[in-house]
Structure 1
Amino acid sequence: MGTFAGFIYRQLIVKPKPLAANVRLDGKTALVTGANAGLGFEAARELSSHGLARLILAVRTVSKGEEARDMILAESPGVTVEVWALDHESFVSIDEFGRRASELDRLDIVILNAGVKNLDYVETKTGHESHLQVNHLGTALVSVHMLSPLSRTAKLLGSPTRLTIVSSENHFWANFKELQAVNTRAQLDSYRDCFRGLDRINIEEYSTSKLLNVLWMCELSGRAGKMGLDIVINSVNPGLCASSLHCTDPQATRAVRLIAYTSAQGGYCLTDAVVLHGEARGAYLSEQSVKDPSTFVLSGAGRGAQKKLWKETVDLLKTEAPVVEILQSLTSV
Structure 2
Amino acid sequence: MGGQLGFMYRQLTFKPKPIPSSTRLDNKVAIITGANAGLGLETSREFISHGLAHLIIAVRDESKGEAARAELLRNVSNDSCRIEVWKVDQADLNGIVAFSERVETLPRLDIVILNAGVKYLNYEKSPSNHEMNVQVNHIGTSLVSLLLIPKLQASARKINAPARLTLVGSEGQFWCSFKEHSAPNVIERLDEQAAFPPAMERYYTTKLMTQLWTAELASRVTSDEVVITTVNPGLCASSLHRHDSSGALNFFLKIFAWTSEQGGHCLAHAATHGTSYVHGAYFSEQKKTEPCSFSTSSQGIKAQKKLWNETIDLLKKECPRASLTQFDKP
Do structure 1's residue 240 and structure 2's residue 235 form an aligned pair?
Answer: yes
Cα deviation code 1:224-251 (max 9, x no counterpart): 12xx761000100000000011132224
For 1:51, the equivalent position in structure 2 comes to 51
Partners in 2 of 1:195 and 1:159 — Cα distance?
44
TM (norm. structure 1) is 0.95
| 1:21-36 correspondence runs (5 A) | 21-36=21-36
Distance 1:232 1:192 in 2: 38
Partner of 2:295: 297
SS of match in other structure, 2:126:
coil
The aligned residue for residue 139 of structure 1 is: 141
8 Å CA contact retained: 2:35, 2:65: yes
- Aligned partner (choices 302, 319, 326) of residue 329 of structure 1: 326
How much has 1:193 moved relative to structure 2?
Answer: 4.5
Alpha carbons 2:28, 2:53 under 8 Å: kept:
yes
Q: How many Å separate the matches in 2 of 1:82 and 1:51?
A: 16
Q: CA RMSD in A?
A: 1.2
Aligned 8 A contact 2:16 2:285 in 1: yes
Does the 8 Å CA contact 2:31/2:56 hold for their aligned counterparts? yes
1:84 to 83, 86, 98: 86
Distance 1:320 1:14 in 2: 43
**Aligned residue number for residue 60 of structure 1:** 60
Alpha-carbon distance, 1:321 to partner: 1.1
Answer whether contact 1:121 1:192 (CA < 8 A) is retained: no
- Whole-Å Cα distance in 2 between the matches of residues 287 and 175 of structure 1? 23
Asked if the contact 2:190–2:196 (Cα under 8 Å) also holds between the matched residues in 1, the reply is no
> Which whole-Å CA distance do the structure 1 matches of 2:320 and 2:56 have between them?
23
Question: Is the Cα–Cα contact under 8 Å of residues 247 and 253 in structure 1 kept in the other structure?
Answer: no
Partner of 1:206 in structure 2? 203
Secondary structure of 1:32 counterpart: strand
Match of 1:268 in 2: 265
Match among 137, 155, 159 for residue 157 of structure 1? 159
SS in 2 for 1:19: coil
Deviation at 1:104, TM superposition (A): 1.3
Q: Aligned partners of 1:194, 1:329: CA distance in 2, in Å?
A: 34
In structure 2, stretches of 5+ residues that fail to align are none
Query: Which amino acid counterpart does residue 112 of structure 1 have in structure 2?
Result: L
SS at match of 2:328: helix
Q: In structure 2, what is the equivalent of residue 185 of structure 1?
A: 187
Taking the aligned partners of 1:94 and 1:313, their CA distance within structure 2 comes to 15
Identity of aligned pairs, percent?
47
Q: Deviations over 1:297-316 (max 9, x none)?
A: 01001100100000000000
Amino acid at match of 1:232: V
Rounded Cα–Cα distance in structure 2 between residues aligned with 1:266 and 1:244 = 12
How far apart, CA to CA, are the structure 2 residues paired with 1:224 and 1:323? 22
Which residues of structure 1 form unaligned runs of 5+? none
The 2-side partners of 1:130 and 1:175 are apart by 19
Per-residue CA deviation, residues 145-180 of structure 1 (Å, 9 max, x unaligned), is 110110001000111000000000001111111111
Residue in structure 2 matching 1:231, options 223, 226, 230: 226
- In structure 2, C-alpha distance between the alignment counterparts of 1:206 and 1:147, rounded to whole Å: 25
Q: Distance in 2 between matches of 1:265 and 1:2?
A: 20
Q: Deviations over 1:276-330 (max 9, x none)?
A: 13221001000000000000001001100100000000000000014333x2222
Q: Aligned equivalents of 1:229 and 1:183: distance in 2?
A: 34
Spell out structure 1 runs of 4+ moving beyond 3 A.
191-196
Residues 39 and 263 of structure 2 are in contact (CA less than 8 Å); yes or no, is this contact kept in structure 1? yes
Between the aligned partners of 2:294 and 2:66, the Cα distance in structure 1 is 41
**SS at structure 1 position matched to 2:86:** strand
Return the TM-score normalized by structure 2.
0.96
**Residues 189 and 195 of structure 2 are in contact (CA less than 8 Å); yes or no, is this contact kept in structure 1?**
no
Q: Structure 1 counterpart of 2:295, which letter?
A: V
Give CA deviations for 1:188-227 in whole Å, capped at 9, x if unaligned.
011434444xxx4xx11101000000000000010112xx
